[in-house]
Structure 1
Amino acid sequence: MNKWNLIINVGRCENCQNCVIAARDEHVGNDFPGYTAPADANADSPIRILRRVQGDAHMVETTYLPVMCNHCDEAPCMKVGGDAIRKRADGIVIIDPDKARGRKDIVKSCPYKAIVWNEELQLPQTWIFDAHLLDQGWPQPRCQQSCPTEVFETLKLDDAAMAEKARREGLKVLRPNLGTKPRVWYSGLERWETCFISGSVSAQVADVVECVKDASVALCVGSQKVAETVSDGFGDFRFGGLARGSGLYRVEIQHALGNASGECELGESVHLGEISLVQVQNGVEVT
Structure 2
Amino acid sequence: MKTFVVDLAKCNGCYGCQIACKDETVENEWMPYSKPQPNTGHFWLKMTEKIHGQVPKVLAEYRPTLCRHCDDAPCMKAAPEAVYKREDGLVIIDPEKAQDKKELVDACPYGAIYWNEELSVPQKCTGCAHLVDEGKLPHCVDACATGALLFGEEEELADLIAQSTDQWDVEGTKPRVYYVNPFGLFVSGEVWDVQADLVIEGASVKLTDAQGGVRETATDGFGDFWFKHLTPGVYTLDIEAPGFAGVKGRTVELVESLNIGDFPLEKE
- C-alpha distance 225-218 of structure 1, shift in aligned 2 (>3 A): farther
Secondary structure of 2:17's counterpart equals helix
Q: Which residue of 2 aligns with 1:154?
A: 151
Give identity over the alignment, percent: 35
For residue 253 of structure 1, the aligned residue among 228, 239, 242 is: 239
Would you say the 8 A contact 2:160–2:180 is kept in 1?
no
Q: Please give the alpha-carbon distance, in whole angstroms, between the structure 2 residues aligned to 1:45 and 1:99.
A: 22
More deviation, 263-272/105-114: 263-272
Residues 1-287 of structure 1: pairs in structure 2 closer than 5 A:
3-138=1-136, 140-158=137-155, 162-167=157-162, 170-176=163-169, 178-189=171-182, 191=183, 194-204=184-194, 208-220=196-208, 226-244=214-232, 246-247=233-234, 249-258=235-244, 259-261=246-248, 262-280=250-268
Shift in Å, 1:34: 1.2
Counterpart of 2:141, as a letter, is Q
Would you say the 8 A contact 1:257–1:277 is kept in 2?
no
Counterpart of 2:148, as a letter, is V
Q: Please give the alpha-carbon distance, in whole angstroms, between the structure 1 residues aligned to 2:209 and 2:118.
A: 56
Secondary structure of 2:97's counterpart equals coil
Shift in Å, 1:25: 1.6
Q: Please give the alpha-carbon distance, in whole angstroms, between the structure 1 residues aligned to 2:186 and 2:112.
A: 29
Secondary structure of 1:237's counterpart equals strand
Would you say the 8 A contact 1:199–1:275 is kept in 2?
yes
Gaps of 5+ in 2: none
Secondary structure of 2:198's counterpart equals strand
Q: Please give the alpha-carbon distance, in whole angstroms, between the structure 1 residues aligned to 2:133 and 2:213.
A: 54
More deviation, 127-136/218-227: 218-227
RMSD over aligned CA atoms reads 2.2
Shift in Å, 1:212: 1.6
Secondary structure of 2:173's counterpart equals coil
Q: Which whole-Å deviations, capped at 9, do the CAs of 1:199-219 have from their partners, x for residues lacking one? A: 1111146xx322222222222
Shift in Å, 1:149: 2.3
Q: Please give the alpha-carbon distance, in whole angstroms, between the structure 1 residues aligned to 2:185 and 2:167.
A: 17
Shift in Å, 1:232: 2.4
Q: Which whole-Å deviations, capped at 9, do the CAs of 1:193-247 have from their partners, x for residues lacking one? A: x322111111146xx3222222222224679574333222322222233333x24
Would you say the 8 A contact 2:11–2:148 is kept in 1?
yes
Gaps of 5+ in 1: 281-287
Secondary structure of 1:107's counterpart equals helix
Shift in Å, 1:14: 2.7
TM-score by length of 1: 0.85
Counterpart of 1:202, as a letter, is W
Report how many residues are paired. Answer: 266
Secondary structure of 2:31's counterpart equals coil
Q: Which whole-Å deviations, capped at 9, do the CAs of 1:11-54 have from their partners, x for residues lacking one? A: 33233222112111211122122111122223321111111111
Secondary structure of 1:133's counterpart equals helix
Which one has the bigger helix percentage? 1
Q: Which whole-Å deviations, capped at 9, do the CAs of 1:83-122 have from their partners, x for residues lacking one? A: 1100011000000001111111111111111111111111
Q: Which residue of 2 aligns with 1:285?
A: none
TM-score by length of 2: 0.90
- C-alpha distance 34-64 of structure 1, shift in aligned 2 (>3 A): same
- C-alpha distance 147-221 of structure 1, shift in aligned 2 (>3 A): closer
